[in-house]
Amino acid sequence: MGIEQVQVVIAGAGPVGSVAAAYLAQHGIKVLLCEQGNDAAQDLRASTFHAPTLEMLDQIGVTEKLIEIGLKAPVYHWRDRKSGEIFSFDLTEISDIARYPYRLQCEQYHLAKMLADRLEALDNATVLFEHRVVDVEQDETGVSVALEHMTGIKHVRCQYLIGADGANSIVRKWMGIDFDGFTYPEKFLCLSTEFPVESKIPDLALVNYISDSDEWLVLLRVPSLWRVLVPALEDETDEYLLSDEKKTKVFDGIVGDGAGIETQHRTIYRVHQRVAKQFRVGRVALIGDAAHLNNPLGGFGMNSGIHDAYNLCEKLVAVLKGEASEDVLDLYDRQRRTVTHAFTQQQTLANMEMMRAGQDEAHRQRVESMRALANDPEKRREFLMRQAMFSSLADAAAIV
Ligand SMILES: Cc1cc2nc3c(=O)[nH]c(=O)nc-3n(C[C@H](O)[C@H](O)[C@H](O)COP(=O)(O)OP(=O)(O)OC[C@H]3O[C@@H](n4cnc5c(N)ncnc54)[C@H](O)[C@@H]3O)c2cc1C
Gap from CA of 299 to ligand 1 centroid (Å): 12
- The Å distance, Cα 181 to ligand 1 centre, comes to 18
Nearest residue (by CA) to ligand 1, atom 21, is: 302
Q: Decide: residue 126, CB within 10 A, 0-12 exposed, 13-18 middle, 19+ buried.
A: buried
What does the pLDDT look like over 185-223, one tens digit per residue?
Answer: 989 999 999 999 999 998 999 999 998 877 889 999 999
- Please give the C-alpha separations between residue 122 and each of 26, 30, 115, 127, 257, in angstroms, as whole numbers: 9, 10, 11, 10, 51
* Tens of pLDDT, residues 228-239: 999 998 889 999
* Residue closest to 26 by CA, chosen among 311, 287, 313, 319: 313
* Beta bridge pairs of residue 146: 135, 155
Tens digit of each residue's pLDDT (9 = 90 or more) over 252-282: 999 999 999 999 999 999 999 999 999 999 9
Question: Which of 196-205, 282-291, 314-323 shows the lowest per-residue confidence on average (mean pLDDT)?
Answer: 196-205
Report the atom number in ligand 1 closest to the C-alpha of 302: 11
Q: Please answer whether residues 183 and 253 qualify as being in contact, where contact means their C-beta atoms are separated by less than 8 angstroms.
A: no
Please tell me the distance between residue 400's alpha carbon and the centre of ligand 1 in angstroms.
29
Q: How far is the CA of 323 from the centre of ligand 1 (A)?
A: 32
pLDDT of residue 84: 87
**So what's the pLDDT on residue 389?**
97
pLDDT confidence of residue 213 = 76
Round the average pLDDT of the chain to a whole number and report it.
Answer: 95
pLDDT of residue 35: 97
Residue 293 confidence (pLDDT) above 70: yes
Mean pLDDT on 357-371: 83
With cut-offs at 50, 70 and 90, classify the pLDDT of residue 43: confident
What residues are in contact with ligand 1 under a 6 Å CB criterion?
Answer: 11-17, 34-37, 41, 43, 45-48, 108, 132-133, 164-166, 170, 190, 229, 269, 288-289, 296, 299-303, 305
Mean pLDDT of 39-43: 78
The pLDDT assigned to 234 comes to 81
* End-to-end C-alpha distance for the chain, whole angstroms: 45
Per-residue pLDDT at 23 exceeds 80: yes
* Amino acid making up residue 101: P
Mean pLDDT over 9-25 rounds to: 98
- Residues 73-115: pLDDT tens digits? 999 999 988 888 999 999 999 999 999 999 999 999 999 999 9
How would you class 95 by CB atoms within 10 Å of its CB: exposed for 0-12, middle for 13-18, buried for 19 or more? middle
CA of 16, closest atom in ligand 1: 25
This prediction has a pTM of 0.97
What's the 41 CA to ligand 1 centre distance in angstroms? 9
* pLDDT value at residue 131: 98
Name the residue of 165, 304, 311 whose CB sits within 8 Å of the most ligand 1 atoms, as the mutation to test its pocket: 165
Q: What is the pLDDT of residue 1?
A: 57
What percent of the chain shows pLDDT beyond 90? 87
